[in-house]
Amino acid sequence: MLSLRDVPLDRMWDFGLLKVLPGFFWVALALLTIGFCVAAADRRTPPACYLAYVLALISILHATPSLLYPELRYAWGWKHVAVIDAMMRHNGEVPEAAGFAIYNQWPGFFQFNAVLLRATGLQSPDAYAQWAQPLANLLLLGPLLLIYRSITDDRRLVWGAVWIYYSCSWVGQDYFAPQAFAFLLFASVIALVLKQQAASAGLPSPGKRRLSWPPDRLFMVLVLEAAIVSSHQLTPMMLISALLLLSLPRRNRRVVLPPLIGAVALTAAWNATVAKQYMSENLSDLVSALSKPEANIWSGVNRLAEATPAASQIMVSWIERGMSVGVFLLAALAFVVRRWTRRTPLPLLTISPLLLVLANAYGGEMVFRSYMFALPAVALLIAALLLPPGKRLRMRMPVVCVVLLAMLGGLAFGYYSKEAMNYFSRQEAAATRYVTTTTPTGSLLISVTYAAPGLEMHYDRHERTQVTEESLSTRRMLMENPLTGLEPLLRRAGKQPAYILLNRAQRADVHLNGEMPADFVDRLESALSRASDFKRVYANPDAVVYRYVRPAEGSPG
């Protein structure tokens, strides 16, 4: 806490929080890692000590942005708040949804939050959404422990795997989103299956017939599967893939087949009914992707070629890729060296997410999502390599400590380097609130990127467009002459007013991601400030709003 006082968030740019966090923050993280290694070297270390170290790690890594930022981080988190708001205002649906239509077909996460808000009397999830990252990671600790304890009773190995998981989880899908919710449920289902598998492997009581599943526990698994199926498109497929591979060994089938059948039946039923529109519109693309496995793989690996990102982000992308490859290489080495791991579910759980990489690109993200779903199993494999049970580790702990510190270093680059565009100030939130609540109904709201906090709030009152989502020809026109390039966008407003919102986060976004020239937002604002057809109607140090004034209107209203 002391190291987080007076962090100059306004100085974030390249490398995000990495650039502005004080040295004491990194010293604390290093000392915590060294302390964990010292504890792991002693076989007498109690579980409470390990728990304290892991909780401290989660707090440092994941609560830091929540403590520093005055507003919810990440534009997509704000979008999910807007969906919940819309569902609460319209009794469970998102009418006239346009780009929101998909949320009507997978509403589980949003309906869960709506029920939570009604039960607590809160008006918005803002009160807790800002803490979604530390909360999601804290809740995930339970399923991780259950998974690892179902495979080994070695205390050091279990907690070492937990530490490695949190040290390598750089993908960043733990924000306020259906994916974080569904991943937690996925891990819970796998944990219950492995726990039941371990219990079923024991000898039955004399005179009693061993059941593969107690009815109440199987019912719990089916409820969790139903929540997954209703909340997210990808996670049910990850679950089916994992359960399918776990069912391959004959000894597992009595336990694994009931949850597998349930997952397949629930997914098929949901896709044929509630999600029928999406499936019918995208079925040909889904089938086509199956015939292009190499394209699916390279769509994620080659994302650097899709734009011209900042040099810092190119470096970060290579660090992320290098860390991911290194993690899987360590897991493969563990499979070769620690033979006992071959008799566990770990290899199957590692491979199962990777199979989906061959089946679909998922917008270029499948490689990274597969890494995320494989990581719980991979972490225990790496722990088996670094912290083998039954051996004295004091001589090797310096090497283990260096490896764990390197993992945390890679995580920090992947996790914190884009915070200049993910962080929003109160001034930016206020500017967005102005255009979504005070402008006339039917207005067209234009922004350069999605990095505008809450732009989707009251979506049914306005039309919206983002420059980076426009065609290549339109973006070229904007680059050559911002005002001329705006003309086709402004024509969409018809006779309705049009507003242009620019803010600090959008400047960071185009600089880091390279979808427009780094100086584009500044050039656009300069052009708007000089043009007679645009009037500045709102401004603060971090954001500005211009209103388009048609020549026929005369004086601006």
Beta bridge mates, 447: 466, 501
Cβ atoms of residues 184 and 403 within 8 Å: no
Which pLDDT score, from 0 to 100, does residue 308 have?
A: 65
User: Taking the chain (557 residues) in consecutive chunks of 10 residues, what is each chunk's mean pLDDT?
Assistant: 78 92 94 96 92 97 95 94 91 77 92 94 90 97 98 95 97 94 98 93 52 90 98 96 96 96 98 92 77 63 60 90 95 96 96 90 84 97 92 82 96 94 96 95 94 90 91 92 94 93 96 92 96 95 94 49
Sign of CA dihedral 158, 217, 353, 450: negative
Q: Rounded to whole angstroms, what are the CA distances from 189 to 196, 224, 287, 368, 382?
A: 11, 7, 28, 21, 22
503 and 431 in contact (C-beta within 8 Å)? yes
- Pair 90, 445: CB distance under 8 Å: no
Q: Which amino acid is at 60?
A: I
Count Cβ neighbours within 10 Å for each residue of 448-475 and write b for 16 or more, e otherwise.
Answer: bbbbbbbbbbbbeebbbebbbebeeebb
Note the pLDDT of residue 555: 45
How many percent of the chain have pLDDT more than 70? 93
- What are the CB-based long-range contacts (under 8 Å, 24+) for 365-369? 365/300, 366/296, 366/299, 366/300, 367/297, 367/300, 367/301, 368/171, 368/300, 368/324, 369/171, 369/173, 369/179, 369/234, 369/238
Backbone angles phi, psi at 194, to 5 degrees: -65, -35
Q: Please give the Cα distance from 54 to 418 (Å, whole number).
A: 25
- Helix/strand/coil percentages in the chain, nearest 5: 70, 5, 25
Beta carbons of 288 and 268 less than 8 angstroms apart? no
pTM, to two decimals: 0.93
d(CA 66, CA 54): 18
Q: Helix (H, G, I), strand (E, B), or coil: what is residue 107? A: coil
Query: Do β-strands 498-503 and 444-447 pair in parallel, antiparallel, or remain unpaired?
Result: parallel
User: Hey, what are 497's tokens?
Assistant: 């007013």
For position 552, what pLDDT does the model report? 59
Q: What's the confidence (pLDDT) of residue 433?
A: 96
Q: How far does Cα 96 stand from its chain's mean position?
A: 27
